[in-house]
Amino acid sequence: MKFFVDTADTAAIRELAATGLLDGVTTNPSLVARAGRDFFEILKEICDVVPGPVSAEVAATDFDGMLREAERLRKVADNIAIKVPLIVDGLKACKRLTDEGAMVNVTLCFSAAQALLAAKAGASFISPFIGRHDDVGQDGMALIADIRQIYDNYHFDTEILVASVRHPMHVVEAAKIGADVCTIPPDVLKKLFNHPLTEKGLEAFLADWKKTGQTIR
Ligand code: G3P
């Protein structure tokens, strides 16, 4: 499973990229607003640090406007993936952009039917928002399983990019289902490393090692 980080905070991206475990980045208008900086500056900085796909979302909601914005965004770097909303014009733009060889991430997916349409439109990534499903009392992970089954039935190349991830178990469950990518907020990604028994075990090993009086050289 590929790990993307879901943030426009470039300091957090640098820190996580240094682990060597980061495969890409997703941003969205809310994350850019939270970062409080120029969108293009942020994107350039991210693309310099992370060679994998970096999702940049259009703000237009009409086909022509999306294509215009996509053209600007694609000039930032080769690894920009254009993010379009799952609306009719978004899928039309997806088809056109992927036909032209662009990477496209179709976002705001909340149903298997929408995911099927995105795959037919040639999307590189489909982003189902599982946390927002859970928030309204629905089962976000069931949607991932449904999309996995549909994509496997027809051998679609579209990668399932699990979005709106809220906790480590979302990542684990998505991996069990066989989702291709998880985009994970920095705080959740950091939690994946931790287990109290790892810390406790390491403390004990280090204390015992000290008792041996040896060094490794
Ligand atoms: O990037 C889109 C998605 O991950 C948003 O997550 O937490 O705002 O539902 P959230």
User: Which mutation among 4, 9, 27, 28 tests ligand 1's pocket best, with the greatest number of atoms within 8 A of CB?
Assistant: 28
pLDDT at residue 39, as a whole number: 98
Question: What is the atom index within ligand 1 of the atom nearest the CA of 31?
Answer: 1
pLDDT at residue 152, as a whole number: 97
CATH topology of domain 2-212: TIM Barrel (3.20.20)
DSSP assignment of 91-128 equals HHHHHHHHHTT-EEEEEEE-SHHHHHHHHHTT-SEEEE
pLDDT at residue 75, as a whole number: 98
pLDDT at residue 169, as a whole number: 97
Q: Splitting the chain (217 residues) into consecutive groups of 10 residues, what average pLDDT does each group show? A: 98 97 98 97 98 98 98 98 98 98 98 98 98 97 98 97 98 98 98 97 98 97
Active site residues: 83
pLDDT at residue 123, as a whole number: 98
From ligand 1's centre to the CA of 107, what distance in Å?
Answer: 10
Closest to 115 (Cα-Cα) out of 86, 95, 76: 86
Q: Is the CB of 129 under 6 A from ligand 1?
A: yes
Q: At what angle do helices 39-49 and 10-17 cross, to 10 degrees?
A: 10
